[in-house]
């Protein structure tokens, strides 16, 4: 039986979110296959201590020293296989500005942006050229912490100060605001899961309260027109591959006039039973426990763990019980058929149709 350490907590501003993700993962692990071990860390040293004796690390971390490749590199040094993407993908996706540069190099639309390393870079005239409104946020962070929608120049400095205060010493991103339908695209084993549409309730964008308070947002599996669905699928998988992601990820987009604009790629998205990726998996016929099975098995294969840790050609209970990728495909078939750039002008999106309601995102 695998000793699976659920690594949670961390040192970032998303500490509390990580704890909730970790607790939910522990509850969902199949006790017939895994011995779940909580590994609660608040410092780098505690990871070294808590990882001792683990067969596998299931990462419930968010933000700095979690999603940025640092923990992944430490675990590789210790020889412990871990869940999700590797060091390179984690570090690339954590840097929103760099990730957007790579995304745009693949001809995938993403909102125009500026990236400032400090207040020495503060340039209101550059934001004027970008065009208001804009979204101001830490370049390396999540959960909408430190993020502000700025409608005019009078609110810019306060928003930038707020973002820097939440950026853990990192840069700040000023991004063109594009009105449209927010969607999120979960990828598991290289396959796109059902797409979720998000509508904030009581807010005009998906802020922290909308994400984490009960009733803050409506989240629904949606069926897009075929042509739009294909564009969304192409954009999501292109980003996933270009950024070297593995096992699973979530690509957040805005859909305007039938065109998907990629906002960011999350290598360690929220993973409670009501989080967005598990909702997508549920719509494809996979419960939360089975989803964790899929992630653990896919990650062991990605890390070489099924051969390295258990012997050449060995089959574990996990290997025998889950069929990576094939299960996803079968379930899908059963369930539903640092520069300023000129703003893009694109040709109203066909209305996406709700299929079923989801829960509240974490």
Give the residue numbers marked as catalytic.
Answer: 14, 143, 212, 250, 252, 264, 266, 270
Rounded to 10 deg, the angle between the 87-94 and 96-105 helix axes is 100
135, 249, 266, 360 from 231: Cα distances, Å: 24, 18, 19, 27
Contacts of 353 (CB under 8 A, 6+ apart): 222, 223
Q: Which residues of 334-348 are buried (b: 16+ CB within 10 A; e: fewer)?
A: ebeebebeeeeeeee
- Using CB atoms within 10 Å of the CB of residue 120, give its burial: 0 to 12 exposed, 13 to 18 middle, 19+ buried: exposed
Residue 310 near residue 55, CB atoms below 8 Å: no
Check if the beta carbon of residue 273 is closer than 8 Å to that of residue 279.
no
What is the DSSP code string of 195-220? Answer: PEEEEESSSSS--HHHHHSTTSEEEE
Instruction: Write down how long the chain is.
Output: 362
Strands 134-138 and 148-150: antiparallel
Q: Are 66 and 18 in contact (CB under 8 A)?
A: yes
**How far is 284 from 276, CA to CA, in rounded Å?**
13
């Amino acid at each position: 039986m695998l000793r699976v350490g659920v690594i949670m907590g961390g040192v970032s501003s998303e500490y509390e979110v990580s704890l909730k993700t970790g607790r939910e993962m522990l509850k969902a692990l199949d006790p017939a296959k895994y011995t779940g071990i909580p590994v609660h860390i608040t410092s780098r040293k505690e990871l070294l201590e808590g990882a001792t004796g683990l067969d596998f690390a299931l990462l419930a971390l968010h933000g700095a020293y979690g999603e940025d490749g640092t923990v992944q590199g430490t675990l590789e040094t210790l020889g412990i296989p871990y869940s999700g993407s590797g060091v390179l993908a984690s570090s690339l996706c954590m840097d929103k500005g760099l990730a957007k540069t790579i995304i745009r190099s693949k001809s995938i639309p993403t909102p125009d942006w500026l990236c400032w390393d400090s207040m020495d870079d503060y340039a209101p005239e550059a934001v004027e050229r970008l065009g208001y409104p804009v979204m101001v946020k830490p370049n390396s962070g999540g959960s909408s912490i430190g993020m502000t929608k700025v409608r005019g120049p009078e609110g810019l400095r306060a928003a930038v100060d707020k973002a820097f205060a939440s950026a853990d010493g990192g840069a700040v991103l000023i991004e063109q605001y594009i009105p449209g339908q927010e969607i999120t695209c979960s990828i598991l084993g290289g396959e796109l899961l059902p797409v979720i549409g998000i509508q904030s309730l009581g807010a005009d964008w998906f802020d922290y309260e909308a994400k984490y308070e009960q009733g803050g947002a409506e989240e629904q599996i949606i069926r897009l027109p075929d042509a739009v669905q294909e564009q969304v699928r192409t954009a999501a998988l292109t980003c996933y591959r270009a950024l070297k992601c593995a096992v699973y990820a979530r690509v957040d987009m805005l859909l305007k006039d039938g065109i998907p604009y990629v906002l960011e790629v999350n290598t360690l998205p929220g993973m409670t039973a009501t989080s967005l990726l598990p909702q997508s998996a549920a719509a494809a016929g996979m419960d939360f426990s089975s989803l964790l099975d899929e992630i653990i098995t896919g990650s062991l294969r990605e890390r070489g763990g099924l051969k390295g840790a258990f012997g050449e050609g060995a089959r574990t209970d996990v290997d025998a019980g889950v069929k990576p990728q094939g299960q996803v495909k079968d379930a899908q078939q059963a369930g539903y058929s640092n520069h300023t750039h000129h703003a893009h002008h694109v040709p109203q999106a066909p209305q996406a149709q709700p299929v079923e309601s989801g829960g509240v995102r974490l």
